[in-house]
Amino acid sequence: MRDAEKDAIEMSARRARLLEAGFRLMSARTIEAVKLSEIANEAGIGIATLYRYFKTKPALVIEIGTVLWRKYYVEVEKAYAARGGAEMNAAEEMEFFLDSIIELYRSHKDVLRFNRNFDTYVKHQECTAEQMRPYNEAVEVFATKFHTVYRKAQEDGTLDIRVSEKRLFVGTLYAVLSVAGKFAEGLVYPPDGEHDMTEELLMLKRMIVDSMRKKRKATL
């Protein structure tokens, strides 16, 4: 029994090392450019052992993405509770979620770099719905969480919601996430040569929230 428990702990540790090594290499370069043999070497694990855990590269990539977003969701939930999310109005919640993306840019640019490359990779690999299921479930919780913003806006009128919930989600959180990803990859730099684009993201957040509030006021 003790040996079985020890084996399970060691297997879990090796799997975690493979995921961490894969993430490090793929976020620093691109997913396509990294070979499984490089990941095994980075993790200090034989390639044959890697294949015992992940039979294909897409399987490894999808699990990395799934783990990343699950961890990020835990961070968001903690921050949401700390800021008294249940007591926020819709406009305040919208700001909170946009701030969460900005914090992701500040603290986890590697996650954003991996994420932007991830979408292209899984599409190119033609990953099936079943393969993508764990990842999609990890991401879908954010849309579910965003539902509270839409529901509150219907009740308190602090945001203009003349568009569908899905369109509002894509046009705000998803759009800012995409911009943050470009910034994290270094695809866009401001004219002054600074590499930190936090202020630009904050400006984008203010534009989104203020414009939605202004539209609402205009209808009064």
CA distance 10 to 40: 16
> 51 and 94: one domain?
no
Q: How far is CA 165 from the centre of its chain?
A: 19
> 91 and 37: one domain?
no
Q: What global pTM score does this model have?
A: 0.87
Task: Give long-range contacts, CB 8 A cutoff, 24+ apart: 38-43.
Answer: 43/14, 43/17, 43/18
* Residue the block writes with tokens 């800021």: 83
Q: Which of 41-50, 88-97, 129-138, 165-174 has the lowest mean pLDDT?
A: 165-174
- CA-based R_g, the chain, Å: 20
For residue 40, the domain's CATH number is 1.10.10.60
> 51 and 121: one domain?
no
Span 3-39, pLDDT tens digits: 777 767 888 999 999 999 999 999 999 999 999 999 9
Span 45-97, pLDDT tens digits: 999 999 999 999 999 999 999 999 999 999 999 999 998 988 999 999 999 99
Question: What number is the average pLDDT over the span 125-154?
Answer: 92
Total domains in the chain come to 2
Angle between helices 198-218 and 90-107 (to 10 degrees): 170
> 48 and 119: one domain?
no
State how far the alpha carbon of 140 is from the alpha carbons of 24, 105, 116, 117, in Å. Answer: 25, 20, 17, 19
Q: Which residues contact 66 (CB under 8 A, 6 or more apart)?
A: 134, 135, 138
Domain that holds residue 40: 1-55
> 86 and 195: one domain?
yes
Q: Which residues contact 91 (CB under 8 A, 6 or more apart)?
A: 153, 158, 159, 209, 212, 213
**86: how many CB neighbours lie within 10 A of its CB?**
9
